[in-house]
């Protein structure tokens, strides 16, 4: 299985994808996804805000749904601490100014006191706005 890392994002790995097989826009979306994941591991709320729509919501494995600011507050205060994020077998598709990244995430984290590696499959939706890719709700 091929593994790639981004020099700027040491806490993020991508396995099962050869980035050279992607077009330029697909690479840009994958880079935005990796930047987003790295910001989660660094509790870099400023970067997370830059990369997400202000109306974005988050739904946890438990079913809890939070606004963007509620979620970011939990990251900032350490209630949610992400140590590393693996993106396994990502599929990146781009149509115009909309993109999807589907992958299995392997999150090493402390989530509200439960520490471990959590695996989940999901799809992240991105919209191109003013030349930048922004994470949005479906």
Residue extents of the structural domains in the chain: 3-136
| pLDDT attached to residue 13 | 94
| 133 vs 28: CA distance, rounded Å | 8
| pLDDT attached to residue 34 | 97
Q: Tell me which residue of 42, 45, 40, 62 sits closest to 124, measured CA to CA.
A: 40
| pLDDT attached to residue 58 | 96
Q: What is the pTM of this model?
A: 0.94
Say which CATH architecture domain 3-136 belongs to.
Roll (3.10)
| pLDDT attached to residue 61 | 82
| pLDDT attached to residue 1 | 58
What distances in angstroms separate CA 115 from CA 91, 130, 134, one per listed residue?
A: 28, 38, 29
From start to end of the chain, where are the E strands? 3-6, 9-15, 57-59, 65-67, 80-95, 98-111, 114-129, 132-136
* Per-residue pLDDT of the chain in tens (138 residues, 90 and over written 9): 577 778 899 999 999 998 888 999 999 999 999 999 999 999 999 999 999 999 999 998 888 999 999 999 999 999 999 999 999 999 999 999 999 999 999 999 999 999 999 999 999 999 999 999 999 999
């Amino acid at each position: 299985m091929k593994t790639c890392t981004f020099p700027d994002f040491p806490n993020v790995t991508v396995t099962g994808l050869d980035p050279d097989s992607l077009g330029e826009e697909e690479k840009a979306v994958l880079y935005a996804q990796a930047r987003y994941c790295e910001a989660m591991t660094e509790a870099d709320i400023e970067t997370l805000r830059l990369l997400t729509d202000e109306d974005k919501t988050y739904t946890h494995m438990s079913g809890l749904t939070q606004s963007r600011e509620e979620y970011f507050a939990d990251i900032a205060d350490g209630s949610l601490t992400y140590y590393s994020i693996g993106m396994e077998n990502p599929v990146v598709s781009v149509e115009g100014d909309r993109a999807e990244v589907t992958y299995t995430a392997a999150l090493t984290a402390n989530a509200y006191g439960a520490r471990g590696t959590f695996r989940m499959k999901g799809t992240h939706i991105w919209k191109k706005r003013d030349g930048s890719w922004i994470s949005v709700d479906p």
